[in-house]
Amino acid sequence: MTFWPRKFSAKEVLFLNEVEEILEMVSIEHFEKFAQPLFTRIAICVGSPHFQVAERALFLWNNEYIVGMIAQNRQQVLPIVFEALYTNSRSHWNSTVHGLTCNVVKLFMEMDSKLFDDCSTDYREHQEQVEKDKKTDEDEWQKLLKQAKAAYPTPCLEWENNHKLGSTLSKAQPPQDSTQLSAIAQQATPFSPMGHSDSPTTDALKRKSMIPQKRH
């Protein structure tokens, strides 16, 4: 994780290719030891705005062996990746990534519906608390702004307009409940691990073992 290329999407895809190759040779005992830092990084990749990075990360759930290890450690993995899956299901710009996200959401719901509902509830409560904190900060800002306007009327007008613009751009959408996420999961295509219909669309996203070898 120390040498993960955080700002080079092409190298991130290569790293994800290698991660899948390595995970296929890892035992469940070793998987449990590094699952948290690994899936913390994978969650970031799943939420990447670069569609190839997000797509390649989501294709890890298309590997039957890896899905088996995830299923045995779902209590640890799902809370880590839930936010990235939620965000993708709501707003990712790429239709392929959105479809793959729906597949993974459906897989987790079928794997452990109670755990999925618990994660959904925890996330919703966290978002509600974030909104309350934002409201508190906004109230404090308005008090300070009122005091500043009384002392310096003209400069504060520009500050106020800029602050309103920033607040509008950063306003978050309300969190979904488990019913809405269930509806999203229904959009998923039939999930078939290791199926050719669900394979990456370009060689750059494929594992080395999936790329046709040139004959000399």
* Top-confidence residue, 29 or 157: 29
Average pLDDT of the chain, as a whole number:
81
Please report, in angstroms and rounded to a whole number, the separation of the first and last CA atoms in the chain.
Answer: 37
Give this prediction's pTM: 0.71
Enumerate the domain spans of the chain.
9-125+177-207
CATH 1.25.10.10 corresponds to the domain 9-125+177-207: yes
Please state, in angstroms and rounded to a whole number, the distance separating the CA atoms of residues 41 and 45. Answer: 6
Q: Enumerate the H helices of the chain as residue ranges.
A: 9-23, 28-46, 51-58, 64-72, 74-91, 95-111, 113-151, 153-169, 178-185
For residue 189, what pLDDT is reported?
A: 61
Residue 169 identity: L
For residue 58, what pLDDT is reported?
A: 96
Q: What are phi and psi of 37, to 5 degrees?
A: -65, -35
Question: Using CB atoms within 10 A of its CB, is residue 19 exposed (0-12), middle (13-18) or buried (19+)?
Answer: buried
